[in-house]
Structure 1
């Protein structure tokens, strides 16, 4: 390979795309999340992409009507994409059939207005992961998300992870993919080496970052500059910094309490006329995070119900009911957020 190509990240990625997918890959049409990322970049837009809850009935069966209402609520609040079948969705507590139906319900409700992504890397080996991913792709999602810790054990080196990813990639052809540094089964931060490998396939269009490390985020953004990748930060403490340094948007759990506020941050983070207000709000969001997230699965539903939804305070993941003290904490948080919204004109 020419030295000039190997030293230029974008040229190296173009070369790798042809090597991994064949020369036909460079002729593939731009579609789905890739096209969306390019459109947003050209318009200078940042997007709030909620990590969706899964509503349940009292018997803990999935409430699909509630899921449709929740989808509408996110979109009305300013979400410009949705992450279904994620950890907040209690994906490990859903059956394979429920994972597909939950995702399909969201895709159908969104009806092409904005991208939908969902986790697909379930299974004990590459074949099972690929098989489920292809079923998930058939629901119409714009990208299939891979949990980073699904492809290597905690003690495994990056070389092992790359080999496992290669086995999966060889069985999923041209599916658009994303990555998610999910805390379960353990949090595996996407290294620059593995990121560079995935960028080289030309298939990586989404990354949900949970490092809580703005310097590592900046390194990922520099490495992926000029690619189709959009980075979405899950850490509220570095939310504004990540948007101002090139992040595509935000996907924090705070979006399951006050989504309209997170959407406002995405819209105005880089607006010089709003800098003072954005910086003020960043401090407020950081301080509020620890107050709202106790008993997360139930407290988020309780908060959303105060915003007009009618979700059962039920979860397959929650170990205890919402206490009176937790309810009072959310009541106070809700009152304070209304003051934020009044100040910001949300």
Structure 2
């Protein structure tokens, strides 16, 4: 494990005007992320509208992304779908066969909201037996409900040696720090915080990187923070940018992921404002606020001497 801090965006899924996956736009989006300097991709996640995709779409989307990335960065994807643990194990194997580097398990898929951690651990251990040596990750996804792993449960899962990735949504800094302390002991797990306002604190406390929805608006800024969080020469600028991104965080969550598609479309990406989620159209006020945020984004880049990715520039050579 190196000391390099990584930004790993949670990929959105472009749809065409008829609600079908727009694979050409998916590839443009991958190029956009890579040109921004990301160190990995999280496909088939909540931002991808995975709960609105069919099983075949989840597999095909993940497979095509892995093929297009062609080893340039690691790719992970959610695999814990199915009614039973046997079903989840079967789909985990199918997702792994697409070529991903690790298959991510949603913590809420292993116990109902009213069930104990004992039940959750029992189901996890059963899945581990059924999936042989497939490298796995943990994802405290907000849906179907947010199941935060306490330090004891977290430690027991990591001690199995099967988990190499964790996407944390604890939000509270003291919870994040407890889990990071466990990660430092084990030294086998890459910890990624999902909460943009935690960026500097988490990175400086030992997180491997960030994996927040802000990467679907301005990945260049998140990459910059990952690169400069611990650099003494940039502490004032990093603190200033953290404050700006924290202030903007509530706005980008409104009507997400449609807000991200609007923002990226304004930045020049060939994305339709089409989504399978409940939000079907942004309000005029939301559009105005996002337009103002785009202007802020360019001013932030200018202040920090960051060159925003332009869609017209040559894409990375595969």
Fold equivalence (TM over 0.5): yes
Runs of at least 5 residues in structure 2 that lack an aligned partner in the other structure? 307-318
Is 1:58 equivalent to 2:17 in the alignment? yes
Distance 1:314 1:276 in 2: 39
Is 1:209 equivalent to 2:168 in the alignment? yes
Where do residues 104-115 of structure 1 align in structure 2 (5 Å cutoff)? Answer: 104-115=63-74
Residue 325 of structure 1 and its aligned partner are, at CA, apart by 1.4
Comparing 283-292 with 79-88, greater Cα deviation is found at 283-292
Runs of at least 5 residues in structure 1 that lack an aligned partner in the other structure? 1-37
- Counterpart of 1:146 in 2: which secondary structure? strand
Contact 1:292 1:333 in 2 (8 A): no
Residue 193 of structure 1 and its aligned partner are, at CA, apart by 1.9
- Number of the residue aligned with 1:323: 283
Distance 1:189 1:329 in 2: 32
Is 1:176 equivalent to 2:135 in the alignment? yes
Distance 1:284 1:181 in 2: 26
- Counterpart of 2:42 in 1: which secondary structure? strand
Deviations 1:194-226 (A, max 9, x none): 211221111111100111111111111111214
How many aligned positions are there? 305
- Counterpart of 2:286 in 1: which secondary structure? helix
- Counterpart of 2:51 in 1: which secondary structure? helix
Is 1:73 equivalent to 2:32 in the alignment? yes
Where do residues 305-324 of structure 1 align in structure 2 (5 Å cutoff)? Answer: 305-324=265-284
Residue 124 of structure 1 and its aligned partner are, at CA, apart by 0.9
- Number of the residue aligned with 1:129: 88
RMSD: 0.9
Distance 2:255 2:206 in 1: 32
Distance 1:139 1:100 in 2: 7
Q: After the TM superposition, which segments of 4 or more aligned residues of structure 1 sit over 2 Å from their partners?
A: none
Residue 292 of structure 1 and its aligned partner are, at CA, apart by 2.7
- Counterpart of 2:64 in 1: which secondary structure? helix
Contact 2:258 2:279 in 1 (8 A): no
TM superposition score normalised by structure 2: 0.94
Contact 2:110 2:120 in 1 (8 A): yes
Contact 1:104 1:139 in 2 (8 A): yes
- Corresponding residue to 1:345 among 281, 305, 318: 305
- Number of the residue aligned with 1:102: 61
Is 1:266 equivalent to 2:223 in the alignment? no
Distance 2:127 2:85 in 1: 5
Point out the structure with max Rg over C-alpha: 1
TM superposition score normalised by structure 1: 0.87
Is 1:254 equivalent to 2:214 in the alignment? yes
Contact 1:208 1:233 in 2 (8 A): yes
Contact 2:274 2:280 in 1 (8 A): no
